[in-house]
Amino acid sequence: MDQNLIDHQNAVRILEEGWRLFQQKGYRGLTIDELCLRCGITKPTIYYYFQDKENLFVQVLAHKLHGFHTVIDQPGPLPERLQRVAASILDNFEADTNSLLHDREHLKNLTNLAKVREAFHSEMFAPMIALMQSGIQSGELRGDDPEMLTLIFLGIVNSFIRKTAVPGTDTQELSSTLTQYFLKGAQY
């Protein structure tokens, strides 16, 4: 088997398992020993791909957020686009984004901190702000602060991230409900 393919498969396995464990345990709760055990690899192998735990955390977040903007940027009516975003978040996150952002406080390297901020900003927040701005401009959303609307929408969705693990919960149905509450409120 080609060594480059093996290297790629190992790196992806570490990133995917790291994603699950960082969400479950947080930055401080995850040990490299546990990650090695879950991936079936040694510490030197992890450090071959990632300099240290901090670099691993940054690379895991960047890996999982990469391409998220394409979900937001897909064409369609505003409700459909918001529902797609909600479904994508509910399907891909086990911990709310606030928890992951809170773990940034453990990063000591300012370059790593900047990379995490940039990944969240470019892949999630900036595209969401642009979507909200277009909704304001088209008259589908009221208000003049697309950033506030973004935070409200993400806050609503974040509150339900773990709910999709409940048996009988349908992600598409939940996404539709959350989008409707965002767009119409709780009006009677």
- Would you state the pLDDT for residue 164? 59
Segments of the chain with pLDDT less than 70: 1-7, 96-98, 100-101, 163-168, 188
pTM: 0.83
Q: Tell me: domain 66-184, CATH 1.10.10.10, correct? A: no
CATH of segment(s) 3-51: 1.10.10.60
Domain ranges of the chain: 3-51, 66-184
Q: Which amino acid is at 180?
A: Q
Convert the pLDDT of each residue in 71-115 to its tens digit.
Answer: 999 999 999 999 999 999 998 887 766 676 677 777 787 888 888
Domains 3-51 and 66-184 share a fold: no
